[in-house]
Amino acid sequence: MKARNFSIVILITIFLSGCVVYSFYPLYTEKDLFPNDILIGEWRGDEWMDNDKAKTNWIFEHRYLGKKDMKNIDSTSYVLTLTTYEDDEVVESIFSVHVIKLGGEYFLDFYLKDFLEDDYLDLGSFHIIPVHTFAKLAIEEDKLIINWFDQAWLEELITENKIRIHHEKNEDYILLTAKTKELQKFVTKYVNSEEAFEDGLEVVLHRK
């Protein structure tokens, strides 16, 4: 079955939709990080080719450690600003993103930092707890292909006792509670598994 290629309205909606694997802990430790410019720049998804769909800009910038000065750039981490345009509405969400390498492949760790203005907070907002998600990254010329692990695939493995990994499960979601070292073993084991990503979220980004 072909992976679902979403035109993203806002990534927080997708992260709560059950399409990806959620983790309480990050996929990386500080020693796993390395300086890189892999993601730097402004990117657009395939949905820009369809006038009937919402349009989302992905802007990756390095994080600053302190004042916005070149000497304070942290080249091992990114701030991702997602700006979505749909009709007359503009929605912005901010993620912390880190690149690491496991099993010979690049992986991205996403963590939601900000998605609402303070004056827009409501009861529902207080029930959203940011989690980590991680995805495999393939790089082609001026193109990024990002594939998240499929939660349905993970749930099947857990239900059939084919995998042992620390987690919590309710009626709707699985949350991995494994620490980083255990998460990395899990990712490395399934890095080349077609089933792990086959029905998961896929995003293809083109450099603007």
Going from N- to C-terminal start, the domains of the chain cover: 4-207
Q: How far apart are CA 117 and CA 97, in angstroms?
A: 21
- Identify the residue whose tokens are 């959203």: 128
What is the value of pTM for the model shown? 0.86
- 142-158 mean pLDDT: 93
3-class secondary structure, 44 = strand
Q: How are beta strands 73-86 and 55-64 bridged, if at all?
A: antiparallel
Average pLDDT, the chain: 84
Q: How confident is the model at residue 53 (pLDDT cuts 50, 70, 90)?
A: low
Q: In terms of DSSP bridges, do strands 22-23 and 174-176 run parallel, antiparallel, or are they unpaired? A: parallel
pLDDT tier, 70 (very low <50, low <70, confident <90, very high otherwise): confident
Mean pLDDT, rounded, for 40-53:
80
| pLDDT at residue 52, as a whole number | 60
Q: What average pLDDT does the segment 178-189 reach? A: 97
Q: Output 127 or 109, whichever has higher pLDDT.
A: 109
The per-residue pLDDT for 46 is 81
Give me the numbers of helices (H) and strands (E) for the chain, helices first please.
4, 12
Residues 6+ apart with CB under 8 A from 9: 54, 56, 84, 86, 91
CA R_g for the chain: 17
N-terminal to C-terminal alpha carbon distance within the chain: 30
Give the pLDDT band (50/70/90) at residue 136. very high
